[in-house]
């Protein structure tokens, strides 16, 4: 690594690519839903993840499939059926999410207090 890239946190930080992949606005709820409820069709995901538009859900599912975090199974039936499922690679993120949930339980109240103090 050259001195200029070593000093650039966006390049030097080893978790930056992971954050870009996993922590976009809708990725975490999609992965959580597939982990918690198993294989689901598009409509099931859309019902569970309130507030997401069909266009954005389609985009995120495609990106997650491209990244290898979910699998898409097409069933050539009439009408066609498509199901989404978390992949082994996606499941490997479970300990990370569990650690973040533990951190949230122990610290989010302090974040809220800090925000209130800052805003006040």
Domain extent for 83: 3-119
Question: Average model confidence (pLDDT) for the chain?
Answer: 91
At 22, list the tokens.
Answer: 């996993």
21 pLDDT band (50/70/90 cuts)? confident
Q: Are 84 and 69 a contacting pair, CB within 8 Å?
A: no
Count of domains for the chain? 1
24 pLDDT band (50/70/90 cuts)? confident
- Taken as a whole, the chain contains a residue count of 120
Question: What confidence tens digit (pLDDT) does each residue in 99-118 have?
Answer: 999 999 999 999 999 999 99
31 pLDDT band (50/70/90 cuts)? very high
* CATH number of the domain to which 36 belongs: 1.10.10.10
């Amino acid at each position: 690594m050259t001195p200029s890239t070593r000093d650039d946190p966006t390049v030097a930080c080893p978790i930056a690519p992971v954050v870009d992949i996993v922590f976009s606005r809708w990725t975490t709820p999609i992965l959580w839903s597939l982990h918690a409820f198993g294989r689901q069709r598009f409509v099931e995901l859309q019902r569970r993840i309130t507030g997401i538009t069909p266009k954005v859900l389609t985009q995120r599912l495609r990106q997650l499939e491209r990244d290898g975090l979910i699998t898409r199974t097409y069933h050539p039936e009439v009408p066609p059926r498509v199901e989404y499922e978390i992949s082994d690679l996606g499941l490997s993120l479970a300990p990370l999410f569990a650690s973040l949930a533990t951190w949230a339980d122990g610290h989010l109240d302090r974040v809220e207090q800090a925000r209130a103090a800052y805003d006040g």
